[in-house]
Structure 1
Amino acid sequence: MTGVALYSAVDDVITHYDVDVDAAILTKKEAITVPAKVQYAWPHPSRTHLYVSTSRGGPRVKSDHNHVSALAIAPDGSLSRYGEPKPLDNRAVHMCVDSSGRFILNGHNFPKSSITVHRIEPDGAIGDEIKQPVDLDYGTYPHQVMVFPAGSPALIVDRGNKAQDERPEQPGALRTFEFIDGQLSAGAVVAPDGGYGFGPRHIDFHPSKPWIYASDERTNRLYMFRFNGGVIESRPAYTLDTLAFPRQISPRQLGGPIHVHPSGQWVYVANRADHTVQFDGQKVFGGGENNIAVYRIDPESGQPVLVQHADTHSFHVRTFACDPSGRLLVTASIKSLATRNGATTQVTPAALSVFRILPNGRLQFVRKYDVETTGPQLQYWMGMVGLR
């Protein structure tokens, strides 16, 4: 690896930053426009291409303009279009590339739940869609699609939905599907207590042990599940709160993205909040936690042990990433938000917040880079890629 590139997406524009890991400095470079608002992106294992899913829609908003595109990654980290975008029937909430680099999987949750699969050609171009069986159950509200490190099964993280008005709670689950040569087939469902009170958003795999760590969006919890092959145990081995003050939950307090450190020694979970109240005719932050919860992982049992809550100095971190060496962590907040400061207000812009990862796994805030978002624009995705 000769360097690290950070990519930040605001609506349909992806901006490249050079990352000086030693100095913890981001240097803004060029930008590229993609077909619509970026929903998620994932690098090829070879780090030669970045695959990007885009949509004109948003959560629970139907869109007829959805695509997955390939971008070539140059040795200096700059991006360029590579082939023609492939259309998707619906907005993708999440996407990934399997460990072999042969397939792109997109997860969808509106107007119906599904997974679409595209082949990746040997040159990195996106090939044809592989049609899937019509009778597979993808759950109520998939929020992430992943593939086990061995290449099968595929996994849908089904968040479900909390009870609302007259609608009862829709339970969540972890749903696996056999995944052979790009073809999905029925697998198993893990739904502790029938999935009630279980609202997983994202998972991450331990790099060397058969352990899965999952963040719960609806209950602000961290779970650790063990698995054998592609079979996940029916109940989590460990369940912990993610909030510093779990008895003081504000409206719109949500569990967020989760990443295991490249070394497998720590796991990081984002707590995010953006609830607003009225003050002097303006919407201002109404309270809640915006931080990264840091857990040490016991190397024998996999048990996570809370060691820190690190303030992100921003609001609603939707994505964050560790650099491949595991020395830096950068968080990306989605939008600006006003806060009350005595009798006045001040606006905190969307931002990229840079932290050093200390030898004990704790985070040390270094600096923050404001990211311009105008009107309804959102910094919806960010990631880092080690360059060739």
Structure 2
Amino acid sequence: MAQDPASQAPPAPATPARALLPLILPALLVGVGASLLFLGVSEAAEALQDVLWETLPDALGIGRYSSLWMISMLTATGIAVGLVVWKVPGHAGPDPATTGLEAPALPPAVLPGLLLAAALMLAGGPSLGPENPIIAANVGLAVWFGRRFAPRSPGEVWMALAEAATIGALFGTPVAAALVISEALAGRPIRGKLWDNVFAPLMAAAVGSMTMTLIAEPSFDLDLPAFTDPGWSDLLAALVIASVAAVLGMVAVYVFPYVHAAFQRLRHPMLMLPVGGLVLGLLGALGGHLTLFKGLEEIGELASDPDGWSAGEFAKMAVVKLAALVIAAACGFRGGRIFPAVFVGVALGLCAHALVPEVHPALAVSTGVLGILLAVTRQGWVSLFTAAVLVVSPAILSLLCIASLPAWLLVTGRPQMQLREDGTSVR
């Protein structure tokens, strides 16, 4: 039955330009600052990584990625991060198993320890990315800055600017931030037009991504063969691979709280993190050096030679990397889950291509990444965006959208890879 036009709610009024103009300068400052902090931590971690994994083993006459060195280095990283969590003021922030992309505003005194723990983790080899601690640090700094220099501005504004700017810097494009913001706003009451609400965060994300691009020139394109002219067999492959990847991701999600509870029984960071590092070292020895670190450079190496490994080897790397992700996030290493999950999806996609060579590698990789990210992050837009940007093929977009539907049905309403304070899974 048609609704009486008179009874319909009036459209939300647009925000006048004079209300948006004062947000431009804060967005510019936060965008530049967030990207520079991310770059600084990344550069420091990469310099330390070169020392730990190249200079030091070469000087000692030990193979850079020998099993002995991987086990020793990961265990030592657990000891180093454990000391930071134990002794540094603020204890490097909250339990990382309880945090996601939406970070609380931590006190400034906590942030040095959090950034130090994140840098040590990135350099030492655990399978986590920089996104969660960097977002948390930028949010904390932005809120502190806002309270000090613009006390009348609500803290939520500074949090939104910092999150958007950091996501823009992480992915090298503001599109990812815009998608995340839109998805977050979908479940909240908002005032005015949607575009009015994303105006300032989108500017912060654009400035953050532009700063990153001008300094570091990041690229996520794996340079796989171009995918053109999709057919029915491609649609079937996309549906199957994305769904299998989602199921594999959900296995990790269901295991996660039990692994976290096992490490919590050790009670002390100087037990939890070194033991976790030892287990990660053993996993690295099993899966090979490509299963270490956050995985961004490693997926480039995988994609540079899609036929360089057998289906079994790709499958082993995917399983080992996913297990390493669960262990690293559960034992207390400070880091995010997106980048290592991307590695899992790439390895799984290349496994499908190795099993069925008729499946195009770009299609296999993008749908594998899509499925695993839907399970691990529960962020639909981020999953679609990341899967698409890895292959830069417009012809694949429609297949990704279709493949996301059954994969989403497999994960929605189920536990997430994030825990509450009591150790139960967020839904």
Q: Same fold (TM over 0.5)?
A: no
Higher-RCO chain (CA-CA 8 Å, sequence separation at least 6):
2
Higher fraction of helix: 2
Higher fraction of strand: 1
Give the TM-score category using the shorter length. Answer: under 0.3
**Greater Cα radius of gyration, structure 1 or 2:** 2
TM-score, normalisation: structure 1 = 0.26
TM-score, normalisation: structure 2 = 0.24
